[in-house]
Structure 1
Amino acid sequence: MTQNPHDLARRLADRAETVCRHYLSSGRREGGYWLVGDVRNTPGRSMYVRLKDTPKGPAGKWTDAATGEHGDLLDVIRESCGLVDFKDVTHEARTFLSMPPPEPESHQQPRQSPTPQGSPEAARRLVHMSQPIYGTLVQAYLRKRGITNLRGTGSLHFHPRCYYRPDEQSPTETWPAMIAAVTDLDGKITGAHRTWLDPRRRDKAPIDTPRRAMGDLLGNAVHFGLRGEVMAAGEGIETVLSLRQVLPEMPMLAALSAAHLAAILFPDTLRRLYIVRDNDPAGDGARDSLIERANAVGIEAIVISPELGDFNEDLRTLGLDTLRMEARLQVAPQDVARFMALAA
């Protein structure tokens, strides 16, 4: 049966604080409420979410004292993720709750047919089988790399036992993994990127190829934030998320390699593209190709370069304040004011 929206809202309410920490990460708990600026996760205190059932009302209900808006946690998911179609809202809620896809409206559920290994459909199934990263090894892994602000990272997921096979002659292993959904410009999942992790070291797993991609990657990417007139594009997930620590409001994407970075598709709305360069010959080639492609269609291209090998190395070695200064000096002044997080 199709999941009733009221049942989904109730399941979310049972985990109200976890929902708030994930989707309203700019807020904080005070007593029995979660306080935040608004349902779109703006910092502040005017919106409050009830975390437990009380005589005053059920858990999960929220009110914005400044605007009079109110609703439940499905509304929080819709607004904080920028979703329009209610089907996408319920899909996001089910993913967060680690629920299986709804069964078709029939008395007998058809068996899933096998999918070709490495295909886009196999990638979609892997993403849908995974769970949100909050409170998992993925969050610990990113934190170890200096990445603590996870706002807008709904494209990342956690799989506790993801298959890994070094080659066709070797037995299959299982490792925990960070699963990144690769999507096209319409938000359709076309591929997946796996980073296998070692739970003891909170680092990449000690295997030959701890990172692998599958599916249709050309032109597509791992997206963070809602696209608009301004966007940043880089190679690695950790590199892009490092820059988002100081530019958390800027939409960004990770193309997963220099070759795929050079081939990303441009949204129709894009007017200015920041190219997040890696400090190596492949990064130089991607930079040159992107500048040429962007200029050919009237998009302003601005290169942002790290001081060391990439921005995650800068974040871990030089620190957040240095990274913030690097970005401030290379980003257009109007975008600093619009996208940069203030220093604590």
Structure 2
Amino acid sequence: MLENPHDLARGLGHQAEAVCRYYLSNGRRQGNYWQVGDARNTPGRSMYVRLKDSPKGPAGKWTDAATGEHGDLLDVIRESRGLADFADVVEEARSFLSLPPPEREPIAPGRKEAPVAAGREAAQRLFSMSQPISQTLVETYLRARGITALHEAGSLRFHPRCYYRSDEHGPTETWPAMIAAVTDLSGKLTGVHRTWLDPDGFSEPHLGRAPIDTPRRAMGELLGHAVRFGLACDVMAAGEGIETMLSQRSVLAAMPMMAALSAAHLSAILFPVTLRRLYIARDNDPAGDGATSTLFERANSAGIEAIVLTPRLGDFNEDLRLLGLDALQATLRVQIAPQDVARFMAAA
């Protein structure tokens, strides 16, 4: 009988290919892996799921090379079905495995159920051990990417020796890192995002990121949450990357912004109750197209006006770095509502 999340994940792993074909139908098998865009079943090839047990790990473990996120098939069910409550994930998994409902063991008086919060607690510890970014390598990294608008950036911190492992069997390394707090609508920290940095790598192609397989990874609870810059109000902007949103803040200095960290998470962000107009900063790629479409429909269904902002190049940080601040300002000026030009945009 499969009674706990670990056993459920192993049970799903024994049927890994069937799980992938059902929940990640936009992907396909490549050797011993299933490749797809992300855990929300976006078309693409950046995420790979191990289909058989191997020395590198058990079947069902997956990694998203684009974001550094990783997990098991319970995470796939949660993301692909958009389930926020873990109890619903367990119910869906048991249904797929054709298992009967579990018998619930009574809880002894005075004993609490163990919280599923190890990732959140680790994220809180890492953020608390980090330091403000002023006069650190994080500030150097962001400025190398053309970003000088670092006001209201308390969600970003610097860790001089952040642990990194390429996988669960790889050696442990330490690199400097930018640590970003992921918070919920109440401001409570639910996770962190790490960008490992190279003190000597501020030229193409790395532009300051460490020369490792996955220089960006997240931990904790991300679904629905974001890295936030500025206080929520009636008008906000949301996009995928931290650098993308900070680039927009170079022009829209007073507009609150959210970085969801991936296309999948952008499509699932939760809306502040004050929000009336949402600017969606899309990336020019297929994953960005899908996330933008989903978020646009969700916002409209919630009675929120949604306006899509499109960069001239791949993303808004590329626009800032390669085209310049004046060109970025011109691009955004014609896409945002006239009343928001006067309210949020610095005079040219």
State the TM-score, normalizing by the size of structure 2.
0.65
Of 242, 246, 249, the residue aligned with 1:241 is 246
Say if 1:233 and 1:253, in contact at 8 Å, map to a contact too: yes
1:209 alignment partner in structure 2 = 214
Contact preservation (8 Å) 1:229, 1:269: yes
For residues 304 and 214 of structure 1, do their structure 2 counterparts lie closer, same or farther at Cα, with a shift above 3 Å needed?
same
Are 1:192 and 2:197 counterparts? no
Q: 1:268 aligns to what? A: 273
Query: Which residue of structure 2 lines up, in the alignment, with residue 301 of structure 1?
Result: 306
Give 1:116 deviation, angstroms: 9.1
Instruction: State whether residues 118 and 214 of structure 1, in contact with CA within 8 Å, keep that contact through their aligned partners in structure 2.
Output: no
For the Cα contact (< 8 Å) 1:116–1:122, is it kept in 2? no
1:339 corresponds to: 344
Q: CA RMSD in A?
A: 1.4
**Partner Cα distance (2:277, 2:321) in 1:** 28
Q: Which amino acid letter does the alignment assign opposite residue 276 of structure 1? A: A
| Distance (whole Å) between structure 1 residues aligned to residue 168 and residue 236 of structure 2 | 40
Give, in angstroms, the shift of residue 153 of structure 1: 0.8
Letter in 1 for 2:266: L
Give 3-state SS (helix, strand or coil) of 2:245's partner. Answer: helix
Counting only pairs closer than 5 Å after superposition, residues 135-214 of structure 1 correspond to structure 2 as: 135-202=135-202, 203-214=208-219
Q: Which blocks of at least 5 consecutive residues in structure 2 are unaligned?
A: 1-114, 203-207
SS at match of 2:160: strand
Show the counterpart of 1:44.
Answer: none
Q: Does the residue aligned with 2:134 lie in a helix, a strand or coil?
A: coil
AA partner of residue 317 (structure 2): N
Aligned residues: 229
SS in 2 for 1:212: strand
**1:313 and 2:318 matched:** yes
Over 2 Å off, 4+ runs: 115-118
What's the counterpart of residue 233 of structure 2? 228
| Distance across 2 between alignment mates of 1:272 and 1:173 | 43
- The answer for the alignment partner of 2:328 in structure 1 is 323
Q: 1:188-242, CA deviations, whole angstroms, 9 ceiling, x for partnerless residues?
A: 0000000000011240000000000000000000000011000000000000100
Give me the identity figure in percent.
72
| 1:9 aligned residue | none
In structure 2, the CA distance between the partners of 1:118 and 1:255, relative to structure 1 (3 Å rule), is farther
Match of 1:290 among 280, 295, 310: 295
Q: Any conservation in 2 of the 1:222–1:255 contact (CA below 8 Å)?
A: yes
**Unaligned runs of at least 5 residues, structure 1:** 1-114
Aligned partner letter, 1:120: R
Q: In structure 2, what is the Cα distance between the partners aligned to 1:252 and 1:308?
A: 20
Q: Conserved in 2, the CA contact under 8 Å of 1:242 and 1:311?
A: yes
Is the aligned partner of 1:123 residue 2:123? yes
Residue 331 of structure 1, CA deviation: 0.5
Query: Matched residues in 1 for 2:261 and 2:305: separation?
Result: 22
Q: CA shift at 1:170, angstroms?
A: 1.5
Q: In the alignment, residue 153 of structure 2 is paired with which amino acid?
A: T
* Structure 2 letter corresponding to 1:187: G
